[in-house]
Structure 1
């Protein structure tokens, strides 16, 4: 008898025993509440993420995207529009801001269900085996997707391959598992929340223990509730405040990078948020300075020429030649995949469709264009724009911004600026424009 008690005491010290998990806050109610928040937030992340991928015009392969087999998963792709001009700023700002704000909820959700990962026996039925398998993809895919997203926002490019490819596939794995898991869990989640007065009743509750069950309670037994709970150190209200406060803190210290204005200085956790980009006409955010891109003054000096090609052959233009052409102004922001954006800047330069006309195209029939940069390091040294982007009256090869010449870090001697396009497609230090050729 003593040996049996000793064995049970030893097992109770292991994660496989329900008695190992003693927090009085765990329970199906808490898990349902956190799951309901994720159910609202994760689909929004997925939709805005798909829109972000579409904005890169990945069908213009192999330049803008090198993701294999995207044809199967890219069934929704369409020609990314140029109107409204702030479209990408909003969709990507929402994607990054909401994603960062959901991190505390995701971690709390994983904490609330962790006893299930160690439950024995590992397989009790076919349906339970499928459920645990879906959890593997759900947890693994969720952590991978959120982690790669955060690393990209923080400019930590430690990926073993293209961020776009890894994040794209990770998101599909995560969302597929999330959809399957939600389909299985939504009925129970709704039933549990209704039985105990809804989310507000739970948050307002000051007791730390799960609701007392009665004989009339028709829900399944609460396998997450601790059978031997420890004395409470935090109330339900405190837990809700902790998770919600963490999300609100991340929201307030991230959102300013895409909202702009005075709130930009509150974006303390965003690399391009609260920093000082400098003063003057070129005093706004940049992603990669000229030195980091390997662009030198020698390349952008008097010897620089823009090469424009098309059916009539090749045209070489100096900056003086470009300034002598009809100049147009467009008020546009720059919005990047990391979630940061600028306020509207006043760009001045030559319309892309006018440059297409120099090499044999009617402005309203301008085709896709391959844009090549002087930069030596990093991706998107060569990028492509769709014909609808080339034909837009506000799509420019910009030579000036806010009444002054571009600075080297903003793309001097010339850069592309296109309405609603991701920042990386607004190529800096442009060396060549090849109309009608994107491969």
Structure 2
């Protein structure tokens, strides 16, 4: 018996109702992923300077970009926590949906008309795009990114390809989905089959939905904690930065890149270190002692990473970025700033911040955290901390600030 024969696919659980339920969940879930993904991309300020733009030639696909706000200060933490946690929780739903429609892949004839050919092409883009987006996303958040090329353009362009096919598919299938879901009540559907089973069922519809829902809840429960404070963090067993806080003391919070991993040793952060501040025809070189001698300010802010993890609010203290802009000749309206790091390896050795981020009184060149000097892994001798910004824009081991038009 070949896969094109109806009798080959023996499970009575498959059917239009089961597929419609899964499709409805994905309709809302995938839309949320797409929106939070675009917002995450906008938060990187990709139009500000070439150093931030990891997706060149995006053209019309960048129509929605805007100046990322600094309020509320937990905005990026919420957005990226939703994006990653919901994405992981949807994996069982996506796999079950693909399983439910698998027989259609082998249906004969493969193409019945022009419209049918277009529909199958859209399904190729839909299924391929979904699998690609989930695969690249999961590998990235697990710190095991294996695809050739940068994650940013591949995931960005892949999202647009997938969502275009997703919108077309939803427009075609939504009327039928609504009709199928309205035909009979939930309780009745869970107790019956679409057609007489070819074999005794190994699981009921209720069991199948329970299996899918249970798998999603398990993944949610072992991932979501990385975006929360306190005891929930210990439940994030599937997240690289979940579990208990690393160690004790003022610097006992998550670190993505250590100083050693990016080539920042004590020889580069010792007495010879200077911060170079450049701007409107001025260049100022400051030692760490000089910075500590300037007016010190504090802010309670988290660090939130694109990979979905975040810290709780930490008590940072240091010099306001807008005060450093004043030293560079911008006393009234601080402009954007290009921040350069000592790190020798890894992405975002340079990062740009918008003028609204520089102006915010909570945006600091931090020298201390939780009442103690920064540790090397947290960016000693100085790091940037900005409210609501992605973690990579909170540059560590800062060596130069260049204020002006970028």
Q: Tell me the distance in 1 between the aligned counterparts of 2:335 and 2:396.
A: 21
Give yes or no for the alignment of 1:339 onto 2:301: no
Give yes or no for the alignment of 1:274 onto 2:240: no
Matches within 5 A, 1:86-101: 86-101=74-89
Q: 1:370, 1:437 within 8 Å by CA — same for their partners in 2?
A: no
Equivalent in the alignment of 1:153: 141
What SS does structure 2 have at the residue aligned with 1:365?
coil
Q: Tell me the distance in 1 between the aligned counterparts of 2:118 and 2:249.
A: 60
Deviation at 1:437, TM superposition (A): 4.8
What SS does structure 2 have at the residue aligned with 1:263?
helix
Equivalent in the alignment of 2:289: 320
Q: Tell me the distance in 2 between the aligned counterparts of 1:329 and 1:427.
A: 17
Give yes or no for the alignment of 1:66 onto 2:54: yes
Q: Tell me the distance in 2 between the aligned counterparts of 1:104 and 1:60.
A: 38
Deviation at 1:166, TM superposition (A): 0.7
Deviation at 1:275, TM superposition (A): 4.5
**Structure 2: tracts of 5 or more residues without a match:** none
**Structure 1: tracts of 5 or more residues without a match:** 1-11, 213-226
Q: 1:19, 1:228 within 8 Å by CA — same for their partners in 2?
A: no
Q: Tell me the distance in 2 between the aligned counterparts of 1:244 and 1:49.
A: 24
Match of 1:186 among 151, 174, 177: 174
What SS does structure 1 have at the residue aligned with 2:284?
strand
Match of 2:393 among 417, 421, 425: 425
Let me know the Cα RMSD of the aligned residues. 1.2
Q: Tell me the distance in 1 between the aligned counterparts of 2:184 and 2:116.
A: 26
Match of 1:111 among 88, 95, 99: 99
Q: Tell me the distance in 1 between the aligned counterparts of 2:339 and 2:45.
A: 14
Q: Number of residue pairs matched? A: 406
Give per-residue Cα distances to partners, 1:77-134, cap 9 Å, x unaligned: 0000001101000011111110000000000000000111111111101111111111
What SS does structure 1 have at the residue aligned with 2:101?
helix
Deviation at 1:326, TM superposition (A): 0.1
Deviation at 1:197, TM superposition (A): 1.6
What SS does structure 2 have at the residue aligned with 1:120?
coil
- Normalised by the length of structure 1, the TM-score is 0.91
Equivalent in the alignment of 1:23: 11
Equivalent in the alignment of 2:44: 56
Q: 1:347, 1:402 within 8 Å by CA — same for their partners in 2?
A: yes
Deviation at 1:164, TM superposition (A): 1.0
Give per-residue Cα distances to partners, 1:63-84, cap 9 Å, x unaligned: 1113122231010000000011
Match of 1:83 among 64, 68, 71: 71
Equivalent in the alignment of 1:359: 328
Give yes or no for the alignment of 1:309 onto 2:274: no
Q: Tell me the distance in 2 between the aligned counterparts of 1:261 and 1:162.
A: 34
Match of 2:349 among 368, 378, 381: 381
Q: Tell me the distance in 1 between the aligned counterparts of 2:348 and 2:28.
A: 34
Match of 1:290 among 238, 259, 264: 259
Q: Tell me the distance in 2 between the aligned counterparts of 1:86 and 1:72.
A: 29
Q: Tell me the distance in 2 between the aligned counterparts of 1:201 and 1:269.
A: 37
- Structure 1, 116-125 or 400-409: larger mean CA deviation: 116-125
Deviation at 1:206, TM superposition (A): 3.7
Give yes or no for the alignment of 1:370 onto 2:338: yes
Q: Tell me the distance in 1 between the aligned counterparts of 2:96 and 2:175.
A: 21
Match of 2:154 among 153, 166, 180: 166
Q: Tell me the distance in 2 between the aligned counterparts of 1:299 and 1:56.
A: 28
CA 428–402 in structure 1, closer or farther in 2 if over 3 Å, else same: same
Give per-residue Cα distances to partners, 1:193-215, cap 9 Å, x unaligned: 100224x553xx244x32x6xxx
Match of 2:366 among 387, 398, 402: 398
Q: 2:136, 2:145 within 8 Å by CA — same for their partners in 1?
A: no
Q: Which runs of 4+ in 1 moved over 4 A?
A: none
- Normalised by the length of structure 2, the TM-score is 0.98
Q: Tell me the distance in 2 between the aligned counterparts of 1:265 and 1:99.
A: 20
Match of 1:249 among 210, 218, 235: 218
What SS does structure 2 have at the residue aligned with 1:22?
coil
Q: Tell me the distance in 2 between the aligned counterparts of 1:315 and 1:25.
A: 71
What SS does structure 2 have at the residue aligned with 1:54?
helix
Q: Tell me the distance in 1 between the aligned counterparts of 2:207 and 2:229.
A: 32
What SS does structure 2 have at the residue aligned with 1:109?
helix
Q: Tell me the distance in 1 between the aligned counterparts of 2:199 and 2:270.
A: 72
Bigger CA radius of gyration: 1
